[in-house]
Amino acid sequence: MTVATSPTTAARPEAIGSTRRGVIPAIVVGEVVCVVLGSLFFGPFAAAAAALALAFFLLAYRSPTWAWMLVWFVIPFDMEQVVGGGMAVTIPTEPMILLALAAWAARGLVGGSWKVPPTRIHLPLVLLGAWTLASTLWSVSPVSTLKAWVMMSGYVLFGYLFVVSSEGSSAGRERWLRLVAIMGAAWGAFGIAKVVFFGGGGQNLVSIASTYSFGAFRPFFSEHGTFAAYIAMLLPPALIATLEYGGARRLFFGVSAALMIAAIVLAFARAAWLSMLLVLPPTVILWALWRREARRLVWPAVLVGAILLLVLTLGIGRQITKHATTASSAQNISNLERLNRWRTAIMMTQSRPVTGVGFGCFVVGYAAYRSKALPTDQTYVRMGVHSEPLKLLSENGIPGFLLAVWLVVTVTAVAFRVFRHAPDPRDRAVALAVWAGLATYVANGFFNAYLAETKVTVPFWAAIGVIGALERRLPGDVPRPAPPRARPAP
């Protein structure tokens, strides 16, 4: 995000110094007022929340990148709360995103500059957003569709637009890689600890099944699929960085990747396992062919060997095999209920092929289209469709689905254009890694739909933003706006 500097202010440095000296006292006074008035009229918790909100708003205004990173750190800790009127709000992430967007808008207005750099990703994304908003007109629940659209727009603005509008420098790229590795390693370690130390430990882990792992990562992750999908998107950048770098940085990224792989294995999420098997081997091979560094493939082999050793040490190899084979089991309740939800989505699409039932309204319209062909104890439970493609078809119709496919194809084309033509080899490696992270979710998305989850949605859109930002670094590849003409001297 580019913020212009006022010529008048630039010509008077003493004005800048006096302004900065007055900022800290003003902030202190504002915080005191929030605490005092909030305590008098709304209670101490409301006062503390108001004071923190003001502090975060000022941080987002003064240092947008630090505010963005802070939200990234907070996202896995957030929890859904029902507020007045029955509206569900993810606390504290969604209020923080709203405050950050407001601060960035104010920063752009005050600075007199609000520019969104060009990238080929904009057009399909804007058209998809417009069609999704238009679905409010024919939705089975216009209010639900509008709420879902506003929520998703906030995620897109925060995750995609901020990243694609940032500088896209080499320093920013390295900072992003470190952030991804730290977050993935920290939550990978959390997942391993939850299963190993709180799941019985030792040979008792043989008894772990999907019924246990479903809620093993609470209270921060409601179920194992969300946890595994989140970690899987962060894994490819850490893995590729392990191959790219040497010395201490290779050790740092390698340990991070190992923790993430182990956590995904212990999550017992079959879709995440499949996404790793489909995406990681070809990504690593493609990197080796490009770099002509077949010897470095020893590092992924070492990681895989370490994970296999962990599996053998814990004695869960048989359990993993058994759980993997349930993917085709007709007696598995999870499979049967997926088929029910998929059948319902197909019936919705057949009934309303052009419009769908409205964005975010599968759950609302589920009762009218519910399939009872394979009844289970979950048939009458309100839940999602468990498939991103079928969710798009049932909610946005065939046009919305085709626009989403166009977006995915465009992001893939841009990523590989950067991978083939970027002058900086590290940009090429990051483009490949980020695309692979998105590909894990695309593979996961055929069996689950997590883009309504903050923990998955923000990394998803941020990854697309990284690819757009890397496209900006291609020389002459993307048309750039002409520089502003100099004003004639008075």
301 and 164 fall within a common domain: yes
- 391 and 277 co-located in one domain: yes
pTM for this predicted structure: 0.83
Quote the CA–CA distance of 253 and 244 in Å, as a whole number: 10
- Residues 429 and 285 occupy one common structural domain: yes
Tokens of 277: 């098997």
Band of residue 17 on the pLDDT scale cut at 50, 70, 90: very low
Clarify whether residues 109 and 142 are in a common domain. Answer: no
Contacts of the segment 291-297: beta carbons below 8 A, 24+ positions apart: 291/243, 293/243, 296/243, 297/243
Q: What is the mean pLDDT of residues 247-253?
A: 92
Of 115, 142, 177, which residue sits at a domain end? 115
Q: Are residues 201 and 102 in the same domain?
A: no
Element housing 233 (H / E): helix 224-244
Same domain, yes or no, for 153 and 242?
Answer: yes
Q: How far apart are CA 246 and CA 264, in angstroms?
A: 25
Q: What is the pLDDT of residue 107?
A: 86
Chain centroid offset of residue 409 CA: 18
Residue-wise pLDDT for 358-395, tens only, equals: 999 998 888 888 766 665 555 556 667 889 999 999 99
Q: Is residue 366 part of a domain?
A: no
- Same domain for 455 and 322, yes or no, is yes
Residue 375 structure tokens: 């009844």
Q: Cα separation of 366 and 385, whole Å?
A: 9
* Rounded Cα–Cα distance for residues 132 and 72 (Å): 26
The answer to whether 369 and 344 are in contact (CB under 8 A) is yes
> Based on the domain organization, do 207 and 104 belong to the same domain?
no
Buried b (16+ CB within 10 A) or exposed e, 270-306: bbbbbbbeebbeebbeebbeeeeeeebeebbeebeee
Q: Which of 175-179, 216-220, 436-440 has the highest mean pLDDT?
A: 436-440
What is the DSSP-derived secondary structure letter of residue 204? G
Provide φ and ψ at 79, rounded to 5°. Answer: -140, 145
Is 9 among the domain residues? no
> What does each C-alpha distance from 486 to 11, 281, 482 come to in angstroms?
16, 52, 12
pLDDT band at 481 (very low <50, low <70, confident <90, very high): very low
The answer to whether residue 364 sits within a structural domain is no
Please provide the DSSP assignment of 293-335 as one string: -GGGGHHHHHHHHHHHHHHHHHT-HHHHHHHHHGGG-TT-HHH
Backbone phi, then psi, for 84, in 5-degree steps?
-55, 140
User: Does 404 fall in a domain?
Assistant: yes
Range(s) of the domain holding residue 409? 134-331+378-471
How many domains does the structure of the chain reveal? 2
| One domain, residues 149 and 223 | yes
Examine the domain organization and report whether 57 and 144 are in the same domain: no
* Angle CA 431–437–441, to nearest 5: 140
Q: Return the higher-pLDDT residue of 44 and 303.
A: 303
Over residues 20-32, the mean pLDDT reads 54
Residue 47 lies inside a defined structural domain of this protein: yes
* Distance in angstroms (rounded) separating the CA atoms of residues 33 and 112: 30
| Assigned domain for 142 exists | yes
Beta bridge partners of 88: 82
- CA 69 to CA 157: how far, in whole Å? 15
The verdict on residue 293 lying in a domain is: yes
* Per-residue pLDDT tens over the stretch 86-107: 667 888 898 899 999 999 888 8
CA distance 436 to 279: 6
Rg (CA), the chain: 24
* Res. 22: pLDDT tops 70: no
pLDDT > 70: percent of the chain: 74
Kindly state whether residues 305 and 415 are assigned to the same domain: yes
Which pLDDT tens digit goes with each residue over 332-358? 666 677 788 888 899 999 999 999 999
Residue finishing a domain among 83, 115, 147: 115
Inter-CA distances, 251 with 146, 181, 238, 245, 248, Å: 47, 12, 11, 9, 5
Lowest mean pLDDT among 150-154, 206-210, 227-231, 455-459: 206-210
Asked whether residue 156 is assigned to any structural domain, the reply reads yes
pLDDT for 365: 86
Residue 422 and residue 395 share a domain: yes
Residue where a domain stops, chosen among 115, 147, 169: 115
